[in-house]
Amino acid sequence: MKVLYHKLPTEKSNPKSKFLDSLTREEIFSLMNQENLKIPKAIANQKEKIIKAIDLVVASLKNGGRIFFIGAGTSGRLGVLESAELPPTFDTPPTLAQAWMAGGKKSVFRSEEGAEDEELKIKSLILRKVTKKDVVIGIAASGITPFVLSALEQAKKIKTNTILVTCNQHQSLAKIAQVVIALGVGPEIIAGSTRLKSGTATKMVLNMLTTISMVRLGKVYGNRMVDLQAKSKKLKERGIRLVQEITGLNRPKALAALAKAHWNVKTAIVMVKKNLSYDAAKTELKNSQGFLGMII
């Protein structure tokens, strides 16, 4: 496929920032702020696609599948960030959400722009590591990154659920994945710098895909993070507060309950509210598929 790079929305020059280098810092601030205000509308316009993508993620995870984020450069780093945040927030296994970035781990910290053209490497990875139970989320602001498109192409061949998050609304991308979320944020104030509006919009969409999916899978009670991993002082304090707020216990008793539950907040709450042993509480949670609200 011949790509006319100068016609990509992510490569175009923004007329509003034509004289960016001659503006004051206050004027640049105002311009960036105005451009960022386009992001919520661009996301709202893709509501139906985002909901469909969430349904694919939930279906895959309920079927025992995993999430694979595929990207290069800024897009790849956003996938890395998303996958890294799920275990501490929702107590998911490290393998549940994985990020594969063009150029490998070293590219997370140092850019390797040529790595985004590595089509054969990612096709091989998809073939060896991904199953039809999984969901592959390709992230490509430009919509033409070979590393990402090849991953989605290979994933489709093995009947894996596929999603593309891009800032290119060209109709040619409509069949690249089962769901294509195309964010019309417009040209960046520095032409081609997709770490700006495009990156911000993409991050917000990825937040929606993972957070809403986790809520739908019972990882949240009300608006509380009851599946957190209490491995730091801050998170332990949050866990104590959660047990206190939901059960009505005072701090010493909440601490005792958490100790009996091996610092699993959700299990501690079930043990207290239902007057159950640790094993019985775990069984209750398993039977309710993790939904605390179904038990208490």
Question: Do 74 and 192 touch, CB atoms closer than 8 A?
Answer: no
Q: Return the minimum-mean-pLDDT range out of 102-106, 133-137, 192-196, 288-292.
A: 102-106
Average pLDDT for the chain: 94
Neighbours of 189 (CB within 10 A): 21
Q: Which domains are seen in the chain, by residue range?
A: 5-216 (3.40.50.10490), 233-295 (1.10.8.1080)
What per-residue confidence (pLDDT) applies to 5? 65
255 pLDDT higher than 70: yes
Range with the poorest average pLDDT among 99-103, 244-248, 268-272: 99-103
User: Residue 116 catalytic?
Assistant: yes
Catalytic hit among 11, 85, 112, 153: 85
Tell me the pLDDT band of 88, cut-offs 50, 70 and 90.
Answer: very high
For the segment 193-237, what is each residue's pLDDT rounded down to a tens digit? 999 999 999 999 999 999 999 999 999 999 999 999 888 999 999
Average pLDDT over residues 27-41: 97
With 0-12 / 13-18 / 19 or more C-beta atoms within 10 angstroms meaning exposed / middle / buried, residue 276 is middle
Q: Read off the pLDDT of residues 96-129 as tens digits, 9 standing for 90 and up.
A: 999 999 988 888 887 766 667 678 889 999 999 9
What pLDDT score does 2 carry? 55
What is the mean pLDDT of the segment spanning 24-34? 97
Active site residue 27: no
How far apart are alpha carbons 112 and 17 in whole angstroms? 28
Residues in the chain: 296
From the list 35, 82, 116, 119, the catalytic residue is 116
pLDDT at 34 over 70: yes
Instruction: Provide mean pLDDT across the span 134-139.
Output: 98
Q: Are 108 and 80 in contact (CB under 8 A)?
A: yes
* Buried-state track 204-223, b at ≥16 Cβ within 10 A, e below 16: ebbebbbbbbbebbbbbbee
Residue 134 reports pLDDT greater than 60: yes
